[in-house]
Amino acid sequence: MKKYPLLLLLLFSGLLLTGLAFANRNGVYRTYEQNRKAEPVLSVLFLGASDGVFPWSEEETKALPVMAEQETVRETESESAVPQTEETALLETEEEKEPARYDFVPVDQTYLDDALFIGDSRTQGLLEYGRLQENATFYCKTSLTIYDLFRHPKQFIREDEKKKTLEQALSEHHFGKIYLMLGINELGTGTAEYFFREYAAAVNKIRELQPDAIIFVQAILHVAPQKDETDPIFNNANIEERNEKIKTLENGRDIFYLDANEVLCDENGALQSDWTYDQVHLKAQYYSLWRDFLLEHGICIPSDPDSGASDFT
């Protein structure tokens, strides 16, 4: 030990960690195992640690499966506390009312004074470079997913030096419009159906917490051609599959679908390659196009909805 302390320390700690990983391979690390083929046994310990999963963790506290493995997804689905009926119930009740439907109209920036944006790093980019900070509120965070909103609530909102979950923040404030864009980080997790169920449930919950708000569900922005052609997961076909589902939430009355890809993509429907460095995020100067698109697509609901209803065909 005296002669070769580092060698022995590394050796013993390595063996210990390998032993721990091996012993728990069918326990807390079960879902990480599929990922392990090419890597050392002990790597699952570190993968787990970054999700807050440790050898002494209870199995139920496991984070979402990281791989799009059908089996694990099914498992999570069955655990799902949001029954399918909830989302369909939302849509059905909306349909029963059959009130007026509204058209998009151009609006100015003050329209967004009572707006809230919820999203991942792309929405963060809109906050930083869309020149909307003085109007709208932004609850966004890099790598935010739909699951972080209510399923495994994350405290990603910081207000008055306090960290809050979306539910807490929405209970304390009142918003007139809520813009939601989430879904790219979820591409590697679960099926499109599972994603959509969670998405619809989240919209439902937001509606519950903010009954007067107009909700804009935004299409997930596409990726640029190079990524689209090479990435087995983060490609536009996968994004579109989910957008199609998100679109079905639109009811023309208080939930609207906005697809900014119309102004940000090339003729093949991929994000303009000159407008991005990493194939995923817009460069700063192009966020204004997204903002302008939003301002072209305002919804104005008169205080008495029946009197000002416009045709929506």
Partner 1 sequence: MAGIGTENLVGLNTLVFSSPEFLFRYLPVFLLLFFLCPQKKRTGFLFFGSLFLYALAQPDYAFLLLGMCGMNYLFGLSLKKRTAQEADAQKEERRRKGLLFLAVACNLSLLVYFKLSNVFDRSFLLPLGISFYTFKSVSYLIDVYRTQVDAERSFFAFGAYLCLFPQVVSGPIMRFSEAADGLRSRYNFWERVEDGLKWMVAGLAAKILIADRLAILWNDIQTIGLESISTPLAWLGAFGYSLQLYFDFAGYSMMAAGMGEMIGLPFLKNFDFPYASRSVSEFYRRWHMTLGSWFRDYVYIPLGGNRRGKKRTVCNLLLVWLLTGFWHGNGLHFVLWGLLLGLLVVLEKLWLGGILKKHPLLAHLYVLLVIPLTWMVFALPSLSQIGVYFGRLFPFWGKGIAVNPMDFAKELRMFAPTFCAAALFCIPAAGRWFSRHKKDLPVVIALTVVFWVCVYQMVNMTENPFLYANF
Residue 158, strand partner residues: 163
**187: exposed, middle or buried (C-beta count within 10 Å: 0-12, 13-18, 19+)?**
buried
Residue 216, strand partner residues: 179, 256
User: Per CB under 8 A, does 287 bind partner 1?
Assistant: yes
- Rounded Cα–Cα distance for residues 29 and 214 (Å): 42
Nearer to partner 1, 157 or 220 (CB): 220
The secondary structure of residue 298, as a DSSP letter, is B
User: Per CB under 8 A, does 128 bind partner 1?
Assistant: yes
The single residue among 62, 122, 197, 253 that binds partner 1, judged by CB under 8 A, is 122
Q: Which stretch binds partner 1 (CB under 8 A): 12-20, 93-101, 105-113, 192-200?
A: 12-20
Nearer to partner 1, 10 or 23 (CB): 10
- Rounded Cα–Cα distance for residues 243 and 234 (Å): 13
CB 212, min distance to partner 1, A: 31
Interactions with partner 1, residue window 205-264 (CB under 8 A)? 233-234
Other beta carbons less than 10 A from residue 210's beta carbon = 19
The single residue among 189, 218, 236, 261 that binds partner 1, judged by CB under 8 A, is 189
User: Per CB under 8 A, does 14 bind partner 1?
Assistant: yes
**DSSP H stretches of helix in 24-163:** 43-50, 70-79, 84-97, 121-129
From 112, 186, 177, select the one nearest 145 (Cα to Cα): 186
Footprint of partner 1 (CB under 8 A): 3-7, 9-10, 13-14, 17, 35, 38-40, 42-43, 46-47, 49-50, 66-67, 120-122, 128-129, 131, 142-143, 184-185, 188-189, 233-234, 276-278, 280-281, 283-285, 287-288
